[in-house]
Chain A
Amino acid sequence: MNVHDVRQVIADAHRREWAFVLAATARVAGDLDLAEECVQDAYVAALDAWVRQGVPDNPGAWLTTAARNRALDAHRRDKTLRGKLPLLIEPPPPEPNEDDPPEIPDDRLRLVFTCCHPALGREAQVALTLRLVCGLTTSEIAQAFLVSESTMAARVTRAKKKISAAHIAYREPDAAELPDRLDAVLTVVHLLFTTGHGQLRSDLADRAIDLGRVLATLMPDEGEVRGLLALMLLTDARRATRTDASGRLLLLDEQDRTQWNRAAIEEGGALVVEAIRGGRPGRFTLQAAIAALHDEAPSYELTDWPQIWQLYGRLQRVWPTPVVALNRVVAFAMVQGPAAALAEIDLLEREGRLEGYHYLPATKADLLRRLDRRDEAAAAYRQAIEWCDNEPERAFLTARLTATLA
């Protein structure tokens, strides 16, 4: 195999195996920084070895063995290496036995739950997950979150230091802790997805979906894990039609539904059904159910709005946020008409919890426009433009404002 092909295989292995290799190496290394170094070295060594000897049958196992051996060598060479950023590992790793290599345990959940520990701030959880679980470089993560590389490097270092100094254990949560701890993990993965989706960065959205698949494999009994994977697939199915050729954002009613990804819709739809069958659907499953109804509808008008409105009602009960309330109003408008929905918007405005959230005036503007109350609609669009924090949506709102004034 030539160097080019081997590089391709290694890139694949990086994306598919990084988390497994690092998680297994962390247990031997007992130190996150050392584990990362050893895994990076193993990937470098693989290029040379695989060009000469061919690609092994199981690249992940080869990389894991290589990285773990490097960690063991480092310990033999220099005892002081241990203690840079020591991980609290339970139970203690068994003594390696060269004659009878034990099966390498799948430690990916330990890694994920450690990165998303509630004692770490949300930004730190996201950064660590991308760095340690997805194997992204600090510079790639910095770009995704629009901060400087040095800021991101400091954030990652600070988080790793807290893990070791505060003795955050490298373990999976027990049954009693699981609901809260799992919610943090799912929130981080969803945040990765929405960041990628919002910035029209498909690589980040793909990473989030990959992570969702891994979690669904490792925790097959958790309905919300399936629900989140379904939500991401069903949202991502519309990726190709989110903007027109010039990059302008398109609303659901403007999108060419024939271009939606049917395979993703089918997979996501099946996952929603399974997740709901499990009982007591949570916020991700309910959002996925709503996304499925949109994806499966032949047109915007022929969407099952009454059921969507009802699902938003259920979502509001398990996840009472003003944003959910606003989305419920949008569905309500489709069922009962814009005039009835405007009254609900007024209630939300008076509550004041959506101050600064541009979708509130944008929704209000749209309802007023449909009622042909143009001056009020224009004022609402202006407010939405002022509050909007990203360029594609600001361009969209500006175009709407212009059309309203025409």
Chain B
Amino acid sequence: MAQYLILIYEDESSYINPSPEVWQQAMEAHGRFAEQVVAAGGKIINGNALQPTATATSIRNDVVTDGPFAETKEALGGYYLVEAKDLDQALTFGKLCPAPFGGVEVRPIMEM
């Protein structure tokens, strides 16, 4: 088994002041995702949603600045660390991962 990080990039304006329905739908979609990964023989090691990039603070050469590292339309908004048997399975999980306002990136974890 190998570990992969699924990075969720979405247009965060879609989540600013979400209606209760949008929020409810997102929670349900992520709940379903967790069930599907387990059903497919994978494992979610952990996962979290992040506060929007407006809350980010960047540090470069000890200089602290307000804001994310790079300003992009679609920003990192959450992640899952999963275990899969190979890239194909990890990509299957990536396809199942909810990201209605963007997409996901799947990165293998470096084994030390």
Contacts and interface: CB of A to CB of B under 8 A. Distances in A.
Interface in B75-112: 85-88, 90-91, 108, 110
Interface in B1-35: 2
A169 B85 CA distance: 9
B86 A168 contact: yes
A119 B108 contact: no
A269 to B, nearest CB: 38
Nearest to A164: B108
The listed residue with most A CB atoms (<10 A of its CB), out of B85, B87, B108, is B87
Contact of A119 (B2, B85, B87): B87
Nearest to A181: B88
Contacts of B85: 90, 169
B91 A119 contact: yes
B110 A167 contact: no
Contacts, number: 25
A57 interface: no
Contacts of A119: 87, 91
B87 A166 contact: yes
Summarize A's interface: helix, strand, loop or mixed. Answer: loop
A124 to B, nearest CB: 14
Interface residues of B, number: 9
A165 B108 contact: yes
A167 B85 CA distance: 8
Interface in A77-124: 88, 90, 117, 119
Interface in A13-70: none
A177 B86 contact: no
Nearest to B3: A167
B88 A177 contact: yes
Contacts of B88: 168-169, 173, 177
Interface in B51-70: none
Most A CB atoms within 10 A — which of B85, B88, B91? B88
Contacts of A168: 86-88
A123 B69 CA distance: 31
Contacts of A117: 87
Contacts of A90: 85-86
Contacts of B2: 88, 167
A169 B110 CA distance: 17
Nearest to A117: B87
Contacts of B110: 165
Interface string A255-272: 000000000000000000
Contacts of B91: 119
A117 B108 CA distance: 16
A193 to B, nearest CB: 28
Interface string A163-188: 00111110001000100000000000
25 contacts: A88-B2, A88-B86, A90-B85, A90-B86, A117-B87, A119-B87, A119-B91, A165-B108, A165-B110, A166-B87, A166-B108, A167-B2, A167-B86, A167-B87, A167-B90, A167-B108, A168-B86, A168-B87, A168-B88, A169-B85, A169-B86, A169-B87, A169-B88, A173-B88, A177-B88
Q: Which 9 pairs from chain A and chain B are nearest by CB?
A: A169-B86, A166-B108, A167-B2, A166-B87, A167-B86, A168-B87, A167-B87, A165-B108, A88-B86
